[in-house]
Structure 1
């Protein structure tokens, strides 16, 4: 007898599956800034959509210097949403630079240095002298000294001195001044002050009341130009004794 074997075939279907793996997640920070990286890989057989969010502070958002393409900003978040094919891997990141914050003090120092240099050698002094009693009032002399010891010519010079409320009378000006009664200010104008030039002006004040003790006189302000740039300089408050 002849034996025969009949083969049978079986049909089957492999079901697809999703497997999303976090490959790497790092965050580093230093004096120069912060960096955050996230890497995902699709180890399944079906495409997978993933959403990644980086939560940042308001300051970090302002200092954001770089980010992987394809992000959206939602409030204080950097958001990525992407689809990975089977076997595909994707890295997203954000970088925050603290360099602008580090530069602010440097800029302030540079600008301050320039202003100090431009003012260096410009002397502006105010003093109270020749105090004496007249009847039941006090009379004193106010002297203001300007000296340009720079190598630059000062132009459009304006000198402004504020009068305290206790001053009742003024006079004996050595240089013509403009009085603003409402603002209680005296103003002098000079077309220019050459290098090495010195100007001294004075006037007398008389108080309505008899003052005793230490009195603080307001500073005198000088506005001027060097070239096309404008500057301002104060003499500082002046302390004087009446009694």
Structure 2
């Protein structure tokens, strides 16, 4: 009895089912052997029932509960389970070829798939004659690293064959398949020859970790000589690549810092990333969303799936700072351009002074030209309070007043300084005497400077005012 596989497209992608012959020639008194492989491609565990709609054949299974049982075959997500089916004709069927249909149903997904095996029934003499010359080949599959495969590396799979009969096997075909590996090659075996065939397999570097089964079938024409199954596993690995770039624009006013992260592993990865950010820089900086500030750093907590790439950026714009500095510089320049070239400081010292009585006081007026220009005809005016009078004492080295006039509350004294040279400081001093004993304190009003600078418009500058308590004593 010869078996061939006829595939019917599944009604759903929740699982796949394949039938492979294990014993392909039997007579009426023997059982044909089939291997049924069920792979759960869904996301939840499921149970699968196996049934046959043709009543001409007696079917049993190993394990025994797999066929026409309420239990069915349990398969976890991503796994493959194999079941051996035994077929024997119930009636004395004529020799010939029969198509035997099977149905495989998923309980959870409630989907159904059909698979058929074509059975060729022969006489006992014909089967015995064929088996007398039936080839026997031992096959061994060798995987690198004991079947633990790194998807980043190329895997070399070796298939060792040993022809144990004195038969010349010239038209052999090896079919290798799994969820990730599919390969076909042709070979030959001389009588009693041992031969090793190798092929290379490459995976997607980001292939997720999984366990899989590699099935190797050795065919002679359409006849299966040997089927070997080998478990292997795609291992998990973790790798993170970092690339940091910095660039500036607008003459360095805007600074960009970009950190690119990529999960080059095949499993998800949690990563904490930090970029320095001082408190000063944070005043002018912005960062990619999702960050927190900790220990003068921008900190992100990232969940990276396999192959995922993330860019984190910190942009520092000193434009506002530059603008503030420019404005401050402009204010300073304008201040120096338009400030008064003359300043006046008024000081006083007491000649006769006790804790309660002030009788005579010396007044000092400091006039300073802080510009680089000569200032002509500077008029200096100061007021002497009505409770005091200007003394006639001549102070050596100082200008004498050119004019004195009285107002309702003070005597106005005026001096004229012909020229004040650039950066020159002049001192005018005079003494006043109180007309009465003064108890407590009194005020000295500010002195006034009048001059012309950069045009005909007269400018006025005032000195500081004084209180008697701010006057120094002269013993």
Q: TM-score of the superposition, structure 2-length normalised? A: 0.28
Secondary structure of the residue that 2:228 maps to in structure 1?
coil
Matched positions, count: 164
1:214 corresponding residue in structure 2: none
On the 8 A contact 2:446/2:462 being kept in 1, the answer is yes
2:407 corresponding residue in structure 1: 174
Secondary structure of the residue that 2:313 maps to in structure 1?
strand
1:70 corresponding residue in structure 2: 290
In 2, the alpha carbon distance for the partners of 1:11 and 1:139 equals 112
The alignment status of 1:17 with 2:250, answered yes or no, reads: no
Determine which of 412, 420, 424 is the counterpart of 1:202.
Answer: 412
In 2, the alpha carbon distance for the partners of 1:94 and 1:125 equals 50
1:108 corresponding residue in structure 2: 328
In 2, the alpha carbon distance for the partners of 1:94 and 1:78 equals 9
Cα drift, residue 103 of structure 1: 1.2
Secondary structure of the residue that 2:232 maps to in structure 1?
coil
1:96 corresponding residue in structure 2: 316
In 2, the alpha carbon distance for the partners of 1:93 and 1:43 equals 20
1:235 corresponding residue in structure 2: 462
Determine which of 70, 79, 83 is the counterpart of 2:299.
Answer: 79
On the 8 A contact 2:256/2:316 being kept in 1, the answer is yes
1:36 corresponding residue in structure 2: 257
Cα drift, residue 125 of structure 1: 8.8
In 2, the alpha carbon distance for the partners of 1:49 and 1:81 equals 7
In 2, the alpha carbon distance for the partners of 1:31 and 1:218 equals 54
The alignment status of 1:27 with 2:260, answered yes or no, reads: no
Q: CA RMSD in A?
A: 4.7
On the 8 A contact 1:124/1:235 being kept in 2, the answer is no
For the pair shown, the structure with the greater C-alpha radius of gyration is 2
Cα drift, residue 170 of structure 1: 6.0
2:278 corresponding residue in structure 1: 57
Secondary structure of the residue that 1:108 maps to in structure 2?
helix
1:46 corresponding residue in structure 2: 267
On the 8 A contact 2:389/2:433 being kept in 1, the answer is no
In 2, the alpha carbon distance for the partners of 1:127 and 1:13 equals 94
Cα drift, residue 60 of structure 1: 0.9
**Structure 1 portions without partners, runs of 5+:** 129-135, 143-160, 178-200, 210-216, 222-232, 238-243
